[in-house]
Structure 1
Amino acid sequence: MPVTSFQEKRTYRVNGHRVVIRQAKREDAPELRKRLARVIREKVYLDEAPDSLPDSREQKEEIEQIQDSGGLYAVVKVDGIIAGTARLRRGSRGVSDHTATFRTWLIPGYRGMGLGKKLMEYTIDWAQANGLEKINLDVWSNNDRAIRLYRKYGFRLEGRRRRQAILNGEYVDEIFMSRFL
């Protein structure tokens, strides 16, 4: 049963900037696509290619699909600009719908502001309010900042795929982490 105390929209002041975290809307799709393309071009954080980027219609459908299936698709806006997202995609109905897979990203220029912490708190609060029991994620082994954040919020190592990717000419492992709620 959902907890009624979860606040769907949260507003903060961070270093003089107005920060809002809220559920994504269909109208966010074009800007989300543009921002996601920027993160993908870095070839550091996401295992995606620019040609795999959804168009605006597909982005709208993804927002709806995740939310309609009981998941979370949230955006963080800084001074009115989408700076990143947090998603929880629920597992299969009846089999693993007590779990969800977490994914997040922030665009360059907005990292190091504490937005990852705010998104993590929002995500965990949402998960608890919506009956999830476990959050899963994967992260590249060279993403020390993210790994520290996940550990700080109670995520623990569940597994590792060695030499799963080549980033900037170096092999990196894919690390699997989870948190029980």
Structure 2
Amino acid sequence: MAADVKERTAPFSERQKMKAKGRQVMLRPAIPRDAEELRRRLARVVREGVYLDETPDSLPDKQEKKEEIQEIQDAGGMYTVVEVDGEIAGAAILKRGNRGISRHTARFRTWLTPGYRGMGLGRKLMEYTIAWARTQEVEKINLDVWSSNDRAIELYKKYGFKVEGRLRKQAILHGKYVDEVYMSLFL
């Protein structure tokens, strides 16, 4: 029991190595050199047409992605990649509220490419994100998710996120209306 308590109170590290399903996993801050691979992998997720309200044409190019990483980090936010066996498998982003009245909040976004789902990486990214947010004095994490994404909603609820609202029939996925669900976690 004492080891468990010690593990939960250990200092946060921006670079975390672990194993998942026998594979090497690394969570670390994104760097400019990741931009092209992040752009390619995110485009793969967008092409699925299920998780993100974007099109491949709307995604930033390599230079814009580099600038996005830098801007988020310079503004006190988090842009983290998860690597599996040295390849980027996904990302988690916390964009801080404006430096004024909403600075205590952050908007969460995450994605994993096909082939890396079901490995527990979503849980690892969620734990990393919450721990990072606590070290940065973020008081509230906000996110939105399609109502059809049961797996993500259950993960968020497991970590204490509560539904704050929804926009009914906000998207059409596979010919059916889905709601956009707004959730938040107070730290």
* Structure 1 and Structure 2 fold alike (TM over 0.5): yes
Deviation at 1:58, TM superposition (A): 0.2
Identity value in percent: 66
TM-score by length of 2: 0.94
Q: How does 1:44-83 map to 2 (within 5 A)?
A: 44-83=50-89
Q: What CA deviation, in whole Å up to 9, does each residue of 1:49-70 have, x standing for no partner?
A: 1110110000000000000000
TM-score by length of 1: 0.97
Q: Distance in 2 between matches of 1:147 and 1:76?
A: 20
Q: Distance in 2 between matches of 1:109 and 1:178?
A: 28
Matched, 1:142 2:123: no
Q: Distance in 2 between matches of 1:25 and 1:173?
A: 34
Q: Match for 2:104: what amino acid?
A: H
Compared CA separation, residues 4 and 64, structure 1 to 2 (3 A): farther
Q: Distance in 2 between matches of 1:117 and 1:79?
A: 18
Q: What CA deviation, in whole Å up to 9, does each residue of 1:79-108 have, x standing for no partner?
A: 011000000000111110100000000000
Number of residue equivalences: 179
Uncovered stretches (5+) of structure 2, i.e. residues with no partner:
1-8
Q: What CA deviation, in whole Å up to 9, does each residue of 1:97-156 have, x standing for no partner?
A: 100000000000100100000000000000000010000000000000000000000000
- Which stretch has the larger CA shift, 114-123 or 4-13? 4-13
Uncovered stretches (5+) of structure 1, i.e. residues with no partner:
none
- Match for residue 14 of structure 2? 8
- Match for residue 117 of structure 2? 111
Deviation at 1:5, TM superposition (A): 1.9
Matched, 1:19 2:52: no
Deviation at 1:6, TM superposition (A): 1.4
Q: Distance in 1 between matches of 2:169 and 2:149?
A: 14
Deviation at 1:4, TM superposition (A): 9.3
Q: Distance in 1 between matches of 2:186 and 2:60?
A: 31
Query: Which structure 1 residue ranges, 4+ long, deviate > 4 Å from structure 2?
Result: none
Let me know the Cα RMSD of the aligned residues: 1.1
Structure with the larger RCO, 1 or 2 (CA within 8 Å, 6+ apart): 1
Matched, 1:31 2:37: yes
